[in-house]
Amino acid sequence: MVSIPQCFSESYAEARGKFCSAAADAGGAIRSWANPHGKGPNGEALYLDTARFGPADASRMLVLIAGTHGVEGHCGSGGQIAWLRTGGPATLPKDTGALLVHAINPHGFAWTRRVNEDNVDLNRNFVDHDKPYPRNDGYLAVADAILPHDWDAASKAESQRVFDSYAQKHGAFALQSAITGGQYTHPDGVFYGGAKPVWSNRTIRAIAREELGRAARVGVIDFHTGLGPFGHGELICTVPPSARSFARARAWYGEEMTSPESGTSTSAVVVGVMTDAFAQELPDAEVTSIAIEYGTHSVPEVLGAVRADNWLHQRGDLASPLGHELKADMKESFFPAGDRWREMVWARADQTIGWALKGLVG
């Protein structure tokens, strides 16, 4: 009997060991890419690992991705390991393979951060960096409140006053969009999209070409946490509703699927998302991508934890008591303690993977 909660891990190092072991036990072909930009908090090397299952020339490929936002890798890793330990690879249909991408952002996973080693939000980095970056005037209006000089009661109260004023004028969701939609003007801020393709961006593109180049149909599920009701997995399609892949995703996932552009999602409209890379690198394949977004705590709590973590790394002291407190809050905001949440994660993941495989074959 597989213990689902034990498929989840409390650290990147623990998760990597469990993933590689479970993938090997299931007969997967494992490959590893070392992140050349630093180590983990305990000096450990950081790797993006993949495990492939099924025929080398499979025409249909399921792709499961963990850790686009590093700290959210606790969730995605647990879902991947649960799929491996419950015999998922053995249930793949004929002419169908699977590629599991573990810790696409290993730095963020190891350091309990959403962002990578460059303070870049990977899910805002997949824009065309040769063109002008998208504007986010809302972020400019609240940028100083997002990253105050100090992290004390007075500064937090002043930041809240700025946020409340903006929300009163433009609406609460507009405030969420201003903060989370992505910005390219403040490298020390939150949801920063970067000034060039980062290591994880370049690496996942190479993996897509090498591992998926023979496939005619590709279904991608990217694991995320932080928005929505506790433990609920919202299926978010980020492509425009006019895109062919949007119609395919609707056919696969039905009314369960939401769309930021249609106003049915808890997520703001974002640009430069990681899953865009698969359609770009596989122009001859039918690529159908979704994010599965698991709720944890309230949006203000989660955004507060992100802001606090950003302040800590920009202006604080990681080794201080406040640093330890903020890191604990960050982990809890994206990976709630307790077995119930983990069991809810796997139940929804199992269901969603089943829909994806049915869609790939249909």
pTM of the model: 0.97
Mean pLDDT, the chain, whole residue set: 97
Number of Cβ within 10 Å of residue 250's Cβ equals 16
DSSP 213-262: TT-SEEEEEEEEEEEEEET-EEEE--S-TTSHHHHHHHHHHGGGEE-TTT
In tens digits, what is the pLDDT along the chain, a chain of 362 residues? 899 999 999 999 999 999 999 999 999 999 999 999 999 999 999 999 999 999 999 999 999 999 999 999 999 999 999 999 999 999 999 999 999 999 999 999 999 999 999 999 999 999 999 999 999 999 999 999 999 999 999 999 999 999 999 999 999 999 999 999 999 999 999 999 999 999 999 999 999 999 999 999 999 999 999 999 999 999 999 999 999 999 999 999 999 899 998 888 889 888 899 999 999 999 999 999 999 999 999 999 999 999 999 999 999 999 999 999 999 999 999 999 999 999 999 999 999 999 999 999 98
Q: Write down the pLDDT at residue 309.
A: 98
Q: Write down the pLDDT at residue 290.
A: 97
Q: Write down the pLDDT at residue 269.
A: 85
| Domain assignments of the chain as residue spans, ordered by start | 5-129+196-300+331-361, 137-191+305-317
Q: Write down the pLDDT at residue 268.
A: 83
Q: Write down the pLDDT at residue 55.
A: 96
What pairs with residue 27 in β-bridges? none
Structure tokens at 186: 């403040």
Q: Write down the pLDDT at residue 222.
A: 98
Q: Write down the pLDDT at residue 347.
A: 98
Rounded Cα–Cα distance for residues 223 and 75 (Å): 7
Q: Write down the pLDDT at residue 271.
A: 87
Q: Write down the pLDDT at residue 101.
A: 98
Q: Write down the pLDDT at residue 289.
A: 97
Q: Write down the pLDDT at residue 159.
A: 96
Architecture of the domain made up of 5-129+196-300+331-361: 3-Layer(aba) Sandwich (3.40)
Burial 319-358, CB ≥16 within 10 A → b, else e:
eeebbeebbebbbebbbbeeeebbbbbbebbeebbebbbe
